[in-house]
Structure 1
Amino acid sequence: MRMTSAVRSAKRAPLLQVVKSAVATIGAWLIAGWLIPGPLPVFAAIAALLVVLPSVNQSFTKAIERSLGVIVGVVIATGLSLLLGPQSWVVLLAIVVAMLVAWAFRATPGMGNQVAISAMLVLALGSSSPQYALDRILETLIGVAIGIIVNALIVPPVLTAPARRDLGLLRAEIAASLDRLATALPTAQTPAQLQGLMVEARLLRPMLAAAEASITAGEEALTLNPRRSQRGELVEMRALLSTLSPIVTQVIGMTRAYFDHYDDSIADEPTVHAIAEQLHRAGHDVRLAVQVADVAPEPSSETSTIPALTAPLRVKPPASGHWILIGSLMEDLRRIRGNLVGED
Structure 2
Amino acid sequence: MKKSKKNQNKSSLVWKMAIASAVSWEAAKLAGSDHPYLAPLSVILCLQPTIDQSIRFSFHRIAGTAIGIMLTSYLVSHLPMNGWMLGLLLLGGTYIAKWLRIDVTVLHQVALTILLVFTFERNAKDYAFDRIIDTVIGVIIAILVHMFLFPPDYTKKAADSFQTLARQLSDALSGLSKWVQSEWGQGKGNLMAYRMNNLLQELHT
Which category of TM-score, normalised to the shorter sequence, fits these structures? 0.7 to 0.9
**Is 1:326 matched with 2:182?**
yes
Post-superposition shift, 1:78?
Answer: 1.0
> In proportion to residue count, which structure has more helix?
2
Q: 1:251 to 1:34 in 2, by over 3 A?
A: same
Q: Secondary structure at the match of 1:327?
A: coil
2:23 aligns with: 27
Q: 1:68 to 1:249 in 2, by over 3 A?
A: same
The aligned amino acid for 1:85 is: L
| Structure 1 segment 55-74 matched on structure 2, within 5 A | 55-74=50-69
2:34 aligns with: 38
Match of 2:106 among 106, 111, 134: 111
Normalising by structure 1, we get a TM-score of: 0.46
Q: 1:254 to 1:114 in 2, by over 3 A?
A: same
| Structure 1 segment 1-344 matched on structure 2, within 5 A | 14-39=10-35, 41-82=36-77, 84-88=78-82, 89-127=84-122, 131-171=126-166, 173-174=167-168, 244=169, 248-252=171-175, 326-328=182-184
Q: Secondary structure at the match of 1:328?
A: coil
8 Å CA contact 2:121, 2:128 repeated in 1: no
In the aligned structure 2, how far is the partner of 1:128 from the partner of 1:80?
A: 14
Q: Secondary structure at the match of 1:53?
A: coil
In the aligned structure 2, how far is the partner of 1:36 from the partner of 1:107?
A: 31
Aligned residues: 180
In the aligned structure 2, how far is the partner of 1:108 from the partner of 1:249?
A: 38
The aligned amino acid for 2:43 is: A
- In structure 2, stretches of 5+ residues that fail to align are 1-5, 190-205
For residues 186-237 of structure 1, give each alpha carbon's deviation from its aligned partner in whole angstroms, at most 9, with x where no partner exists.
Answer: xxxxxxxxxxxxxxxxxxxxxxxxxxxxxxxxxxxxxxxxxxxxxxxxxxxx
The aligned amino acid for 2:117 is: V
Greater relative CO, 1 or 2 (CA 8 Å, sep 6+): 2
Higher-Rg member (1/2): 1
Q: 1:169 to 1:146 in 2, by over 3 A?
A: same
Normalising by structure 2, we get a TM-score of: 0.74
In the aligned structure 2, how far is the partner of 1:138 from the partner of 1:25?
A: 15
- In structure 1, stretches of 5+ residues that fail to align are 1-10, 175-243, 258-274, 276-324, 333-344
